[in-house]
Amino acid sequence: MADNGTILVVGGGISGLTVALEAAEVGREVVIVERNPYLGGRVAQLNKYFPKLCPPTCGLEINFQRIKKNKKITYYTMTEVEKISGGPGDFQVSLKEMPRYVNEHCTVCAKCEEACDMDIPNEFNFGMNNRKAIYKPSEMAMPMRYVIDKSVTGTASQQKIQDSCPYGAIDFSMQPRTFNIDVASIVWATGWNPYDASKIDNLGFGKVPNVITNMMMERMASPGGPTGGSIVRPSDGKQVNSIAFVQCAGSRDENHLPYCSYVCCLASMKQTTYIREKNPESKATIFYIDLRSPGRYENFYKKVKDDENVSFVKGKVAKVEPGSDGNVILTVEDTVGGDIISQEFEMVVLATGMEPSTASERVPGGSVGYDENKFLLPGGDIIPAGVAKKPADVMTSGQISTAAALKAIQAAGAK
């Protein structure tokens, strides 16, 4: 019987962290379960946040400090929920933790990384570069500890990595571990995945060179990204002088994501500032169906619009094709003038939307409802938070998560 009032938070993105802190800071025991080897979720992959345009460290780091100082919070990375049984006040949860092969003696000295001769695609950078098979998940990772990709085990690199560590931090004897916890309430904050742009036939992703997605742009612009922060064409490394953003790439489309993801217009506006800042000669064009900059974000839109080198064109992009010298040709139905425009750019960014993680993975137990797009509905035994509930920016995710923390405390009952 979980008479401990403990709250389980699944997902350690900005929403899960918010729920955990809100509940722990009023005295609740909280367990966070995160699949990645680090906390922070998708926000850790952003270069800057709109509207203030500060780096993700400014929001995440303060939460990491609060978590480190709060003894009420326990967190497990590389861990997932396998099964949930019971109900509010008395859930039994089975967790599975995958081996990191690096223990708490790691000082992040990087000697293992220098010794490792095996490369793997860098998932954090959407495969735009490779990284060593032993890697620091990101510059601001929490926990700040190396992790070893399991493909190393059984190869010649395994011994080299093992021998390189002066602190005894490498431990290939680690095995997957299954264990059970009893909790009184469960918050599901598993967030989102970028919509798979290769499913959008007419927009060229994966077929036409120099067509990237908005999340790839976040990594490219980031100092810790695949190009060290230079915005260059993947095909030839050339500095980009003209760039187009294709809004609603797969969004508000019955064949893909029927809904608006709320953040994509603002994300593209933000990304025009990345390119304009890095290359003052550059020009950016945003092709949109409707522009959305709700509430106070209108000021952000106005600021971006004031830049005469940023154009907004109301038109639906019908086709994306290869042009000359690695350029990309867009065919656009100009919905104001009624014309068909054909324009060439050096690089194109597809503003793809957010698909809930629960679209591909259901909650493994508990009573829980899904809406028609597979976001979680409130009202069941499992309490949704952040983008698991609806498409949202960081500020709205924080509001949803604070409300979820209150609900979780109520559902857990008195301690």
Ligand X SMILES: Cc1cc2nc3c(=O)[nH]c(=O)nc-3n(C[C@H](O)[C@H](O)[C@H](O)COP(=O)(O)OP(=O)(O)OC[C@H]3O[C@@H](n4cnc5c(N)ncnc54)[C@H](O)[C@@H]3O)c2cc1C
Closest to 32 (Cα-Cα) out of 16, 51, 43: 16
Q: How far apart are CA 263 and CA 267, in angstroms?
A: 6
Cβ proximity to ligand X: between 5 and 41 the closer is: 41
Q: How far is the CB of 263 from ligand X (least distance, A)?
A: 4
Cβ proximity to ligand X: between 270 and 283 the closer is: 270
Q: How far is the CB of 156 from ligand X (least distance, A)?
A: 31
Q: How far is the CB of 17 from ligand X (least distance, A)?
A: 7
Q: How far is the CB of 414 from ligand X (least distance, A)?
A: 28
Cβ proximity to ligand X: between 118 and 388 the closer is: 388
Q: How far is the CB of 56 from ligand X (least distance, A)?
A: 9
Cβ proximity to ligand X: between 249 and 328 the closer is: 249
Cβ proximity to ligand X: between 170 and 284 the closer is: 284
Give, to the nearest 10 degrees, the angle between helix 264-278 and helix 214-221. Answer: 30
Cβ proximity to ligand X: between 2 and 263 the closer is: 263
CB 183 within 8 A of CB 91: yes
Instruction: Return the amino acid letter for 142.
Output: M
Q: How far is the CB of 109 from ligand X (least distance, A)?
A: 26
Six-digit token string for 34: 């995160």
CB 329 within 8 A of CB 321: yes
Q: How far apart are CA 397 and CA 192, in angstroms?
A: 12
Six-digit token string for 411: 């559902």
CB atoms within 10 A of CB 271: 26
Cβ proximity to ligand X: between 20 and 112 the closer is: 20
CB atoms within 10 A of CB 281: 9
| 391 Cβ contact list (under 8 Å, min separation 6) | 192, 259, 260, 261, 262, 263, 353, 354, 375
Cβ proximity to ligand X: between 27 and 294 the closer is: 294
CB 41 within 8 A of CB 394: no
Across 302-336, b (16+ Cβ under 10 Å) vs e yields: eebbeeeebebbbbebebbbbbeebbbbbbbbeee
For 177-207, give the DSSP string: EEEEEEESEEEE---EEE--GGG-GGG-TTT
Cβ proximity to ligand X: between 6 and 357 the closer is: 357
Give, to the nearest 10 degrees, the angle between helix 57-69 and helix 14-24. Answer: 40
Which residues bind to ligand X, rule: CB under 6 A? 10-16, 33-36, 41-43, 46, 49-50, 80, 189-192, 214-215, 218, 263, 267, 270, 354, 357, 361, 386-387, 392-395, 397
Q: How far is the CB of 43 from ligand X (least distance, A)?
A: 5
